[in-house]
Chains A and B, each alone.
Chain A
Amino acid sequence: MEEKMERNNEVLILENISATYDSGEARLPVLKDISLRLKKGEFAALLGPSGSGKSTLLKIAAGLIRPDRGRVLLNGQESTGRVQKVGYMPQQDLLFPWKTLLENAALPLLAAGMAKKEASSRVRELLPIFGLEGFARYYPHQLSGGMRQRAALLRTVLIESSLLLLDEPFAALDAITRENLQEWLLSVLERFHRSVLFVTHSIDEAIYLADRVYLISERPGRIVLEQPIELPRPRSRGIITTAPFLSYKALLMKSLQSKD
């Protein structure tokens, strides 16, 4: 009974996931025996060096890739290797250059069968929250990097799913824009109540955003540390200089260096 309760409370479960990448010449092990449970409303960060298979793990969670071993459970249902309706946001913003901001953001609604007019007004309602008011008719190349990222996030949030899979959404941005967007993301999540699996290679970003950090090793990626982050919310930018933040940072840095 208790076990069942717990399962219902978990949006995403990854069980003993192992994956290899077939480069044509050799099969490289990418992920090794990864297990994690994402609770409802939880923000989990996958922290690790580049090439540790973090992006592959997100694709496996979305069902875009079938792992060699292991299971994926989404809202208690097995979904291994079957594409699921989840808020997946790939590494580049991937806004379609031939669609305006409005048309890009409306895509998930149209895919769900909503009428064009209704989808447009839904998107327009949300534009101010995403700091994009007045830019509906702009094409992606006319927007700044930060705006594109916010537009991509708006599109991702409009995919009707309780789960967000975000693959280094702020990695390509300059430091100042990135920090602003981190704060903004937290405020947006307070409104939308989603569970988030967030890939990053920035220790600060992981601690600042997440309730729980999974430290992933270099290839083949394994979870070397699961660290709950017990910092109060809402978090302001100032938190990154406080003692608890810095002790988490020291701990994660040490673990990153000592492994492999």
Chain B
Amino acid sequence: MKKWANTAKRSLPGALAVLAVLLLWEALCRVADVAVSKLPPPSAVILSLYHNASLLAEHSRATLAAVAAGLSLSVLVALALAVFMDRHSWLKQALYPLLIISQTIPIIALAPLFLIWFGLGLTSKIVVVALVCFFPMAINLVEGLEQVDPETINLLKVMQAGPAMIFRSAQLPAVLPYFFSGLKIAATYSVMGAVIGEWLAARWGLGVFMLRSMRSYQTANTFAAILVVVVLSLLLFKLTELAAWLAMPWHRHKSVYPEE
């Protein structure tokens, strides 16, 4: 109970700040009489959210499908690549610069090419999400595997443990904190990646809804979609934190002997 009270206390200033910005925004729109098509007040955005609820849910479902597929793809590829790069140092030396270069290429510029390569369907969207998420995942995993203490591996070798047991007992758990910090970043980027993918070409998705609203000057709808993107990203972030909490029970227990 006390923990909850503390959490509430800590998030109070943040909540108040958000509320203040919203009120200021609302007041500004009303006092200056800004056209709703230019800048809709928060109340209009909430109204739009209400009116388009079922439509937004439908589009969100499409976006989340791309997010799930792209994120999973990037995690799998990054994990496989990081393990290989860790096993063979020459591979790491060869691929590490490429990895960084890949991140510096603006996806927006590259994305139209995906249309040519992968067509108009879901594939293009998934590839954009995967590309956005791949880099934080791969970098964190490579770094995490570097941090594994070689003595722990020696210890298991002396017990005559095989490579599978060494990976399971020593390397994988040691990498989990790195994995989850990568995943937190990747998960937050992933929705944005899907929206970019949808701007290019798609029939469903929050990006599509945004584009349509913008083209028809229904700015409140655009903002509603932005709000949904923000909320979805935050949810994914929190979900990752929950997964980390579940996956690493040893991080939860407090020391009995605090002197160390």
Contact = CB atoms under 8 A, between A and B. Distances in A.
Interface in B213-260: 248, 250, 253-257, 259-260
A99 B156 CA distance: 14
Contacts of B149: 94
A47 B239 CA distance: 53
A159 B159 CA distance: 6
Given A111-B161, A139-B253, A92 B260 contact: no
- Most-contacted residue by chain A among B161, B176, B257 (CB, 10 A): B257
A90 B151 contact: yes
A145 B165 CA distance: 27
B175 to A, nearest CB: 11
A143 B256 CA distance: 6
A107 interface: yes
Contact of A64 (B158, B176, B254, B259): B158
Nearest to B248: A98
B155 A90 contact: yes
- Most-contacted residue by chain B among A138, A141, A144 (CB, 10 A): A141
Contact of A96 (B152, B157, B254, B255): B152
Interface in B157-199: 157-161, 165, 169-170, 173-174, 176
Given A110-B165, A141-B255, A142-B257, A94 B158 contact: no
B154 interface: yes
A175 interface: no
A111 B159 contact: yes
B253 A141 contact: yes
Contacts of A96: 152, 169-170, 173
A92 B152 CA distance: 10
B160 A85 contact: yes
Interface in B95-130: none
B155 A112 contact: no
Given A112-B160, A142-B255, A64 B260 contact: no
Interface residues of A, number: 29
B253 A92 contact: no
Contacts of A88: 154-155, 158
Interface of A is mostly: loop
B159 A85 contact: yes
Interface residues of B, number: 26
Contacts of A86: 158
Nearest to A108: B159
A111 B260 contact: no
A260 to B, nearest CB: 28
A177 B76 CA distance: 47
A195 to B, nearest CB: 16
A203 interface: no
A228 to B, nearest CB: 29
A62 B157 CA distance: 10
Contact of B158 (A83, A92, A138, A144): A83
Nearest to A91: B151
A19 B35 CA distance: 81
B159 A112 contact: yes
A72 to B, nearest CB: 14
Contacts of A91: 151
Given A88-B158, A111-B160, A159-B158, A144 B151 contact: no
Contacts of A131: none
A9 interface: no
A92 B157 contact: no
- Most-contacted residue by chain A among B156, B157, B159, B165 (CB, 10 A): B159
A94 B155 contact: yes
Nearest to B161: A111
Interface string A133-164: 00000110111110000000000000100000
Contacts of A64: 154, 157-158
A144 B255 CA distance: 9
Nearest to B165: A111
Given A111-B165, A139-B250, A59 B260 contact: no
7 contacts: A83-B160, A94-B155, A98-B174, A107-B161, A112-B160, A142-B253, A159-B159
> Nearest 10 CB-CB pairs, A to B?
A98-B173, A111-B161, A111-B159, A88-B158, A144-B257, A108-B159, A142-B256, A98-B250, A139-B250, A90-B151
Given A85-B158, A108-B159, A110-B165, 19 more contacts: A62-B154, A64-B157, A83-B158, A83-B160, A88-B158, A90-B151, A91-B151, A94-B152, A96-B170, A97-B250, A99-B169, A107-B159, A111-B156, A111-B161, A111-B165, A112-B159, A142-B255, A142-B256, A144-B256
